[in-house]
Amino acid sequence: MADQDIRPDGTVAFLPHRLNRHPVVVLGLTADELWICAGLSGALGLMVGVPLAFALATIAIVPTAIVLAIALGVFAGGSALRRFKRGRPDTWLYRQLQWRMALRQPLLAPFVGGHGLITRSGWWSTRRSTAP
């Protein structure tokens, strides 16, 4: 069986299509996506928890708000990202983020690799004329 996979020139006849894919960790999210969801949710929990801690005069609300925001963010964000990514290529989310950054924040685009994307919208022409 293994001899069928090797070509006469010594190269392998197949490559697993999941070889370079990031593994799914939680709720259909890869590790990078999970960190982004958790980080953004934690920051939101911090922004909500600090004013509540001052209003109620107890510091214990800050870590509680952060943990609750992360739990809610991972489950809600995981479900939303799974719906967005369904039926699309593996790199679609990252290219979409790069494209949006290149359009909206052109000065920050080189930091996320968005400077190499084609952002022109309109009709394209090959500038060829018909044969005489």
- pLDDT per residue as tens digits for the range 22-79: 777 777 788 888 888 899 999 999 999 999 999 999 999 999 999 999 999 999 988 8
Query: What pLDDT score does 60 carry?
Result: 92
The percent of residues in the chain predicted with pLDDT above 70, rounded, is 84
First to last CA, the chain: 58
Under a CB-based contact definition with an 8 Å cutoff, are residues 40 and 74 in contact? no
Query: What pLDDT score does 121 carry?
Result: 75
What is the pairing mode between strands 29-30 and 24-26? antiparallel
Query: What pLDDT score does 48 carry?
Result: 95
